[in-house]
Structure 1
Amino acid sequence: MTTKKKQSYSISELAAEFDITTRTIRFYEEKGLLNPSRNGQSRIYSPADRTKLRLILRGKRLGLSLEESRDVIEMYDPAHDHGNKKQIQTLIDKIRDKRQQLRHQLQDIEVLLQELDDAEARLTDAIKDKAS
């Protein structure tokens, strides 16, 4: 017996599956990242919308902006049998850029922490000098 893949999802199903709010999903829709069809007032999300949502959330966890996630998602072409090499390489490049940015921020934080330690030590010494 083969299991049929689900062909559509409600907003509440996606919210529950990804542990996010329906408001978050509507936000991504407003930004043009998701394009559900409608059945009256109800939003009907396709498997492609579900995949896009999963990629958006993955990009968020990796520290990508919504625009960066959009760029990667829009590169996807299901007609390619080559595994979307360009899309994957772009994501790798974005990950490397993000890693370098975080390393730079970490260096800046380490310098700032040292400056705070130095300032605190000088001020502590100044208090001791005034007390004696």
Structure 2
Amino acid sequence: MNDTPISFKAMCARFDVTPRTLRYYEYIELLQPMREGRARFYTAREVARMTLIMRGRRFGFSLEELRQWLEMYDKQGTVPQFETFVKMADRQLVALKRQREELDATIAELLALRDETARLAAEARGNGDDAGTAEGG
């Protein structure tokens, strides 16, 4: 990205967020756009911060965890900040793996139910049982 600041509308479009979301991130001081009157403009720094915010949200980090991550980014990080982030990431990885296991179990359960239902439908068709069809209402 070049050094030309981008508008509020362009920032919303670039990150596919609502104006309300962008204003909220500003309100809670995750972003600090430049202002000219009522207009907001976002520098390369703010675009980079928003990129980190969006990544962090995708990872499932809380807003407070995002704040810590952005602080580390802004200050080039200290060893304690790096260690805190590693612990935070480890906790989130455990949670995401647990969610994946739950999702895998749910998918397996739904597939089994679907297969059983398909088997019952095929069996009923083979027996000439059309009781489930709607004819003439």
SS of match in other structure, 1:38: strand
The answer to whether residue 7 in structure 2 is matched with residue 11 in structure 1 is: yes
Change (3 A) 1:60 1:75: closer
Query: What is the distance in 2 between the residues matched to 1:130 and 1:27?
Result: 58
Instruction: Report the counterpart of residue 127 of structure 1 in structure 2.
Output: 125
Would the alpha carbon gap of residues 20 and 50 (structure 1) be closer, same or farther in structure 2, given more than 3 Å must change?
A: closer
Do 2:8 and 2:39's aligned partners in 1 also have CA atoms closer than 8 Å? no
**2:33 corresponds to:** 36
Structure 1 partner of 2:88: 90
TM-score norm. by structure 1 comes to: 0.67
Indicate the RMSD between aligned Cα atoms, in angstroms.
Answer: 3.2
Which amino acid is the alignment partner of residue 58 of structure 1? R
Change in CA separation of 1:75 and 1:103 when aligned onto 2, cut-off 3 Å:
same
In the other structure, the counterpart of 1:73 is 66
**Counterpart amino acid of residue 120 in structure 1:** A
| 1:114, distance to aligned residue in structure 2 (A) | 0.9
Going from structure 1 to structure 2, the CA distance change for 1:25 and 1:11 (only over 3 Å counts) comes to farther
Following TM superposition, by how much is the alpha carbon of 1:31 offset from its aligned partner in structure 2, in angstroms?
Answer: 2.4
Give the letter aligned to residue 75 of structure 1.
Answer: Q
After superposition, the C-alpha distances for 1:77-116 in whole angstroms (9 at most, x for unaligned) are 3275215321232133213311220221121111111111
CA distance in 1, matches of 2:114, 2:107: 10
Q: SS state of the match for residue 75, structure 1?
A: helix
Question: Cα deviation per residue 1:48-91 (whole Å; 9 max; x = unaligned)?
Answer: 533321112213444x2xxx342222113327521532123213
Q: How many residues align?
A: 119
Query: What amino acid does structure 2 have at the position aligned with 1:34?
Result: L
Within the alignment, does 1:45 sit opposite 2:42 as a pair? yes
Q: Kindly name which structure, 1 or 2, has the bigger radius of gyration based on alpha carbons.
A: 2
Q: Distance in 1 between matches of 2:94 and 2:14?
A: 28
User: Which residue identity does 1:90 align to in structure 2?
Assistant: M
8 A Cα contact 1:15 1:25, kept in partner: no
Cα drift, residue 12 of structure 1: 6.5
